[in-house]
Structure 1
Amino acid sequence: MKKPFITKEQAEEIIAKYPTPFHIYDEKGIRENARNLNKAFSWNKGYKEYFAVKATPNPYILKILQEEGCGVDCSSLTELMMSECCGFKGSDIMFSSNVTPKADFLKARELGAYINLDDFTHIEYLDELCGIPETICCRYNPGGHFSIENQIMDNPGEAKYGFTHDQIIEGFKILKEKGAKHFGIHAFLASNTVSNAYYPKLARILFELAVELKEKTGADIKFINLSGGVGIAYEPDKPQNDIFEIGEGVHKAFDEILVPAGLGDVAIFTELGRYMLAPYGHLITTCTHHKHTYKEYVGVDACACNLMRPAMYGAYHHITVLGKENAPCDHKYDVTGGLCENNDKFAVDRMLPEIDTGDILCIHDTGAHGFSMGYNYNGKLRSAEILLKEDGTTQLIRRAETPADYFATFDFSHILDKYSKDNND
């Protein structure tokens, strides 16, 4: 059973200062998880986790992970800029992008980040733009279907990312001719896997590729990036990944494939986002309405603009009614937001305790791809983000948007000056 990391009393105290809806993050849980990840891969002397900034782009979160030895995985100019402001530089940054604008490549080169090329044509593009760095990485796509234990996990052949097998071999040769001295390999073959076998199988694919690239191109391979894909179980009755079993599975493949090939010094990198943060974030929202028609509806003050995954993917997020954790779940509800979209539902036909107006709902596992996927449809404003610190105190780490923020990009329009002024007073 999923248990909230805050109580009803804590939530009420926070709400008195910062009204719902808001996202809240558990610093203690984040730190413990990062430490366990590092322990699981401590057998590899060059190991480093590059947190996927896109999952939770907040500088306060990035600083916590930085203190735990993590780097950052960036995919855009603004993510690079945020990471720079947090003190990340050089080999602390992995830049993995696609259809990449010039400004993004230039910023990555300026910061000395590891650049992970997504496409064969980007070799010439990057060279003409700012030159090939001495250390360069390429993203690999093996094509076809990716399966684990006869279960198809994803279809890399339909994905827009990465070099083909022949392209990456030719690419390494061209990059060497253009001055590259050290190489990395990267791949992402399946999203949110809840299987201890995913990373070890991916590792074997990349380790065998590394041996082949060394033999065919003479490349000095410095690191292999397993990227993301290790997920969490959103449903309360499903088993979670065991990061220590995963780490040992990769270790076994490393010893069997890379060490005999003279590649025992290769560093292992990861780029986890969901695994690092999702369980340590809640969306806190208040019941404001009830509707009794063909179904029973509970209306809350959050909406899909605060958490898109249920509306976009039909994704399950567990819901706890704070203060009613032990009450029987004997009422069936659709839990909805207020958007002019019928898919604006956090739960459909969900069995929950009886919910009264004013009850506080905790929507679980929103720490990654929660706030970051927010948007302003219907003129809805993005919520605050709050950090529950290890000592039990809370800190506002992003204020809620105001109407003035929403109208700010109309700064050429005098018509809206009054509204901006009124909301800033």
Structure 2
Amino acid sequence: MSKKTFVSLDQIKEISKTYPTPFHLYDEAGIRENAVKLNKAFAWNKGFKEYFAIKATPNPFILNILKDYNCGVDCSSLTELMMAEALDFEGSDIMFSSNTTPPEEFEFADRLNAIINLDDFTHLDFLEKTIGKIPETISCRFNPGGLFKISTSIMDNPGDAKYGMTKEQIFEAFKILKAKGAKKFGIHAFLASNTVSNEYYSTLAKILFDLAVELRDETGADIKFINLSGGIGIPYLPDVEPNDISVIGENVRKVYEEVLTANGMGDVAIFAELGRFMLGPYGCLVTQAVHEKHTYKEYIGCDASAVNLMRPAMYGAYHHITVAGKENETCDHKYDVTGSLCENNDKFAIDRMLPKIDMGDYLIIHDTGAHGFSMGYNYNGKLKSSELLLKADKSVQMIRRAETPTDYFATFDFTDIFKNI
């Protein structure tokens, strides 16, 4: 099976004249089309809002594209809040969902009037002491514990996750927050990652909608929004059917009417914080084959490494690989596709059947638009690559330059030693 690419060999050759490999490339047209589909799927809910998870693709140019479609941002750190502020996101356009949160991050979020989503029961007291108040609008993260499973064999274990409050804790939290002046409440939960199933969001929604009715009835809290968070995944494997966001939206609508509307809560807004679904398929890592090795296995060495894409090394995650220009050739060669790090897990593919790869061939590693560049690091002194935007008019814009040795050494306070760099 194969995956379609949004960039051709001829385009890559032209891009490489200005921007050497490796580089991450994003598809503006695809991003915009997907944002339209998401908003259309949830148009039935007047308050619907996507809070794009900055952690997935922390690039201002990407965030500004999504801003065109009324997307807010989900932040989890001080620097992500700073990026949001720099791009003129403010107030209810920012969801601050953090855990083990330092006080200065709560202070900054409060200064921006962001919606603060509390991860833990102990954070109620911590937040009040830090900012001197309880905000009028506040959200709490729920963890139902146990196992989470849906009929498509997708299972996760919320009980082992460090995130969120128990049911007893969230009820107590709402009572305390209300007594301390909170007037508008939200509920948030994240139970499974990268679900390629049209059932997940509506299953999660049913859990949270039922919880919302109970919380309203027992605490009297005015619940204004329910954040279904992320978890809608993408098909990394080429033979997996992708999620249909229109079906997902309709499934959530049915549960909304059955639970919330039926219980007099038909004005509750639905929020999402999708990262992978919004950006994953609309980014790729382009790298060049620079070495081949013939020992106990056949190896292709690339100029990219786990520094540029950590997921295969970290999780054993699958990312499809296309040899640019050889899309229609038979995949009759078995390779390990590797980077150059001093780690044996620095492999983009193991025993992958691909067309014969010649030195200088360009490899397109698919689905790196989310949690690709953002998870990069500098092991072995390797430098992060550039990020490029393939614009809707097919021109290319650099949206982040590649790191240089000067960047790598910049945090040392040894000016004289490194003065010649």
Q: Give the TM bin, normalised by the shorter chain.
A: over 0.9
SS at structure 1 position matched to 2:121: coil
Shift in Å at residue 301 of structure 1?
A: 0.1
TM-score, normalised to structure 2's length? Answer: 0.99
How many angstroms does 1:416 deviate by? Answer: 1.6
Report the equivalent of 2:203: 201
Match for residue 390 of structure 1 among 367, 370, 392: 392
Report the secondary structure of 1:324's partner residue.
coil
- Name 1:344's counterpart in structure 2: 346
- Partner in structure 2 of residue 78 of structure 1: 79
SS of the residue 1:29 aligns to? helix
Partner of 1:277: 279
Read off the aligned partner of 2:26 and give its amino acid letter.
Answer: Y
- Report the counterpart of residue 166 of structure 1 in structure 2: 168
- Deviations 1:45-98 (CA, angstroms, capped at 9, x unpaired): 000000000000000000000011110000000001011111110010000000
Question: Aligned equivalents of 1:163 and 1:189: distance in 2?
Answer: 13
The aligned length equals 419
Q: Which residue identity lines up with residue 310 of structure 1 in the other structure?
A: P
1:273 CA drift (Å):
0.2
* Contact 1:304–1:344 (8 Å) recurs in 2: yes
Q: Is the 8 A contact 1:290 1:296 kept in 2?
A: yes
Among 225, 229, 235, the alignment partner of 1:227 is 229
- 1:412, CA displacement in angstroms? 4.0
Q: Residue type matched to 1:379 in 2?
A: G
Moved over 6 A (4+): none
Give the CA deviation at 1:103.
1.2
1:316 corresponding residue in structure 2: 318
Q: Secondary structure at the match of 1:222?
A: strand
Amino acid of the residue matched to residue 111 of structure 1?
L
Residue in structure 1 matched with residue 128 of structure 2 by the alignment = 127
Give the aligned partner of residue 422 of structure 1.
none
User: 1:254 is aligned with what amino acid?
Assistant: Y
Which residue matches 1:7? 8
Query: Are the aligned partners of 2:276 and 2:371 in contact in 1 as well (CA < 8 Å)?
Result: yes
Quote how far apart the aligned CAs of 1:121 are.
0.4
SS in 1 for 2:367: coil
**Any unmatched runs of 5+ in structure 2?**
none
Q: Structure 1 residue 414: deviation in Å?
A: 2.4
* Equivalent runs, 1:260-409 vs 2, <5 Å: 260-409=262-411
Give the equivalent residue in structure 2 for 1:216. 218
Long gaps (5+) in structure 1? 420-425
Deviation at 1:370?
0.2
Output the CA distance in 1 between the equivalents of 2:121 and 2:105.
Answer: 18
Distance 1:117 1:352 in 2: 47
Root-mean-square deviation (CA, aligned residues, Å) is 0.8
The residue identity in structure 2 corresponding to 1:55 is A
1:251 corresponds to which of 243, 250, 253? 253
Whether the 8 Å contact between 1:145 and 1:152 is mirrored in structure 2 is: no
Counterpart residue identity of residue 253, structure 2: H
Deviation track 1:203-259 (CA, whole Å, cap 9, x = no partner) reads: 000000000000000000000000000000100111111111110110000000001
Equivalent pair of 2:385/2:403 in contact (CA under 8 Å): yes
Contact 1:305-1:374 within 8 A present in 2 as well: yes
- Do the aligned residues in 1 keep the contact of 2:148 with 2:157 (CA within 8 Å)? yes
Q: Which residue number corresponds to residue 60 of structure 2?
A: 59
Specify the SS of the correspondent of 1:199: helix
